[in-house]
Amino acid sequence: MEATCERAATLRLPSVAFTEHADLTPWVVRAGDPMSDVLRRWLRPDGRIAPRDLDVEGYLDCVQRCRERFPGLRVLTGVELSEPHWHPESTAALLSGGRFERVLGSVHSVGGRDEPRLVDHAMRVRPADVVVRDYLAEAGRMAASDAPFEVLAHIDYPVRHWPADGQPFRPGDFSGEFREVLTALAASGRALEINTKVPLALELVRWWADAGGAAVSFGSDAHRPRDLANGFAAAAEMALSCGFRPGDDPVELWRQPHRTRPGGA
Ligand SMILES: [Zn+2]
């Protein structure tokens, strides 16, 4: 985190948010699933992968160190909740005390609550388009839920695992499914993240504006300091072209000037 702040200072970013993972869903693994060293370490005797609980105190201590070392940088706390609509109790416990300033909700699983599979594992045994539809249906359920998150992260997450040897991924093939998620998200008053890892396709941001989406955030999903703010210039241009505008404060979400604030009246 300190190296990421150093990178932020080099890039002259005014602010950075560390939305640390809270992976609340224990995934089902099957024989033949590829297992990284990290996944293997988290494998439970019942055949599920359960990431370690977020060390909240350690995380907040580190944020504090970053703030002291980089007083010119606005360092926001944050958390990325994995399928929070399946885990209302652990989500409430984690957020009690209000120590996270930016709360993302994300889906990393398909197959539903009882048989949650990692998207990349599911893609190996089921057609990619079926997995994408399954993913978007779950994202829609999360968007329509009252789970306490402010921003929907990486709506295009399965594209990261889209097979390289077939047809390229085309957002238009799933426009109905994407629009359903975006409509539910807009109705909830939440914001859409423009995640630059893939990066997010322009159509998605356009459909978000069409759906009445009021705000966007920017996320580089940087798990390494050197990836911080990757693709942000293009993402900002895309947001501007769809009518979103920055606020006076750099930590604010970018909004449609004529629309109400998410969560507001
Ligand atoms: Zn994620």
73 CA distance to ligand 1 centroid (A)?
24
* Domain-located, residue 38: no
CA of 101 to the centre of ligand 1 (A): 17
User: Which pLDDT belongs to residue 166?
Assistant: 87
Q: What is the pLDDT of residues 164-189, one digit of tens each?
A: 998 999 999 999 999 999 999 999 99
Distance 74 CA to ligand 1 centre (A): 23
* Distance from the Cα of residue 116 to its chain's centroid: 18
Q: How far apart are CA 101 and CA 16, in angstroms?
A: 12
Tokens of 102: 């930016």
Longest CA pairwise span in the chain (Å): 53
89: domain range? 79-255
User: Is 16 inside any structural domain?
Assistant: no
Question: What is the helix (H) or strand (E) element at residue 184, kind and residue range?
Answer: helix 175-188
Expressed in angstroms and rounded, the spacing between residue 154 Cα and the centre of ligand 1 is: 7
How many Å lie between the centroid of ligand 1 and the Cα of residue 161? 13
197-240 per-position pLDDT tens digit:
999 999 999 999 999 999 999 999 999 999 999 999 999 999 99
106 located within any domain: yes
Number of domains in the chain: 1
Domain presence at residue 45: no
Which CATH number is 226's domain given?
Answer: 3.20.20.140
* 240 belongs to a structural domain: yes
Q: What is the average pLDDT value for the chain, to the nearest integer?
A: 95
Q: Could you tell me the two tokens for 142?
A: 């999360």
Q: Report the predicted TM-score, pTM, of the whole model to 2 decimal places.
A: 0.95
In this structure, is residue 66 part of a structural domain?
no
How many whole angstroms from 258 Cα to the centroid of ligand 1?
30
Q: What is the pLDDT of residue 258?
A: 76
Average pLDDT over residues 43-60: 94
pLDDT digits (tens, 9 = 90+) for 109-130: 999 999 999 999 999 999 999 9
Rounded Cα–Cα distance for residues 206 and 60 (Å): 36
130: in domain? yes
Q: Would residue 112 count as lying in a domain?
A: yes
